[in-house]
A and B are shown apart, each in its own frame.
Chain A
């Protein structure tokens, strides 16, 4: 019998663990190893250089730029997405008329939810190619075309979107335009998530509040929002990962994948450029390891901050 169990366990684990080791774990370990060498990627010549690559990271102007751009997305993507999603969920769930049963959701909230969720099922590449056309820097683009029609933008001086490295509030304009896409595509999903969480709050909590004379704003800020804390913090962690993963948009949309003039460079784009264009695999691996350490620290930090007693109804 014992023997049977061992054979069963091994049999079930062999294939998944094997695949995972070969295609995921082994590359990660190799990357850590290569990061200590000056390997170019195309030759067999590689020399152990110790921590030189890591030291180089600190003096690399491009990396510093990319790092701050990552931090920008890390703060703004979750912040704006969650704020908008909460606001939409709030309108959806308490914007309706009130009657004996309390305050209702708005009429047609089901339809709104279906529509708001659309961007979530589209791939990032579809979204990127679509927005490329929306953001075209001439009258053929959706936004420029509209603004020209109502006369807000002149034909000779269109908004340049992806080609605009000029800083706005200290951050290149191109990054703000990318942020808008991220918020556009994420808000609906998190609205559905928050909406579901709101609906799982038992009705009697609200009834009690209403009987006490609390209005819908009070109810929302004093009861709903605190009870949503768990969901919001989970959303924050996930959006943090998405923010680190803005590469698809940068790759498809920006000139020379990180331009113009490196204004939209992020960690991933510098890494790919260093590895596959400049042929410095060793150095690129060091960037990867640094990014991984950064991600793990961040995840640990977020889990620490957001950990709290769970509320069960």
Chain B
């Protein structure tokens, strides 16, 4: 990595030391004058506001439609103000549309899978980043390769593998929460290991050595010294995993189909797909909107509360 110093011609010369403050003439040259600047400022606001409306309006429309009656959805589809607030739509989507149980299933699965992803991911990343042993590179690249391979390639054998495991160990078969947790963890490890690996690399050696001198075991060193030091990285990758696994739809669609008579263990994404098909048949539009609202609002609220962390967490995930 080399450092390129950016010195555009004419800036470095000592004879060109600029005068303090600018003359009106220079000021006018900057940004095409005052009127130009004002116009540009106005244009910026206009365009940004238009885009903001394009983002917010559909969301608001969904939430407001969730509070209308069905006939109102059909009669006045565009209005943002319901004649009377229909909270019953939410109750209907929650119970009849099973959004309630899909919700709980998702939370149950995510609690296990995010915790395990973080724990196992940082353990593997730590060992790979800070210990030399034969096969280290091989294992690291094995994890890395999962980043480029499309999930669809593995779909067929993965389905088959889970199905076969289920014959012997039912709790690891299709339509089981434990199985889904383990699959989520396995598929999230690639990125988690990759991300935390670069993080553990940057931690100073001196502290690790001091810990060793004090007689800490390897695993104690990890859990009470190194892991706490990696907290910023853990928060980033944690947010990334929570959102990623909450939004996961392909793996559950593949692996969590319940045969008639089996308990419905599906997660929220599947629930929404099901709702969009079923409510379409029943023309229960307000129920559908209520379902989408319930899947949408918790995430949005969490985001608004923790927006700084979420934004930096997700963008750090990309720029690593």
- A interface list, Cβ under 8 A from B: 4-6, 8-9, 11-13, 15-17, 19-20, 22-28, 30-31, 34, 41, 87-88, 91-92, 95-98, 100, 103, 106-107, 112-126, 129-134, 139-142, 145-146, 149, 184, 187-189, 192-193, 196-197, 205, 208-217, 223, 227, 231, 234-235, 238, 244-245, 247-248, 251-252, 267-268, 271-272, 275, 281, 284-285, 288-289, 291-292, 295-296, 299, 309-313
Contact = CB atoms under 8 A, between A and B. Distances in A.
A189 B149 contact: no
Interface residues of B, number: 107
| Interface of B: prevailing SS | helix
Contact of A23 (B121, B153, B183, B275): B183
A107 B32 CA distance: 20
Given A117-B303, A124-B247, A299-B148, 6 more contacts: A12-B124, A16-B123, A97-B41, A123-B295, A140-B73, A310-B4
Given A4-B218, A91-B44, A292 B153 contact: yes
Of the listed residues A25, A129, A234, the one surrounded by the most CB atoms of chain B closer than 10 A to its CB is: A129
Given A139-B77, A208-B11, A212-B11, A129 B48 contact: no
18 contacts: A12-B222, A13-B128, A17-B139, A23-B182, A26-B157, A88-B47, A88-B48, A95-B45, A126-B295, A126-B296, A140-B285, A145-B78, A192-B315, A212-B18, A217-B31, A272-B152, A285-B153, A313-B6
A34 B31 CA distance: 63
A265 B294 CA distance: 31
A106 B127 contact: no
Given A19-B120, A88-B51, A123-B249, A25 B142 contact: yes
B213 interface: no
Contacts of A291: 150, 152-153
A169 B289 CA distance: 34
B320 to A, nearest CB: 9
A115 B56 contact: yes
Contacts of B3: 311-312
A123 B32 contact: no
A150 to B, nearest CB: 11
Contacts of A31: 153-154, 156-157
Given A13-B127, A17-B139, A193-B319, A132 B276 contact: yes
A118 B299 CA distance: 10
Contacts of B296: 122, 126, 130
B143 A20 contact: yes
A277 to B, nearest CB: 13
A235 B318 contact: yes
B204 interface: no
Contact of B273 (A11, A20, A129, A231): A129
| Interface of A: prevailing SS | helix
Given A121-B299, A252-B273, A295 B149 contact: yes
Nearest to A30: B157
Contacts, number: 305
Contacts of A41: 156, 160
Nearest to A294: B150
A149 B103 CA distance: 37
A305 B225 CA distance: 41
Of the listed residues A23, A118, A188, A271, the one surrounded by the most CB atoms of chain B closer than 10 A to its CB is: A23
A106 B315 contact: no
B149 A28 contact: yes
A309 B289 CA distance: 50
Given A106-B45, A247-B152, A234 B319 contact: yes
A22 B146 CA distance: 13
A119 B299 CA distance: 11
Contacts of B249: 123-125, 248
A311 B5 CA distance: 8
B234 interface: no
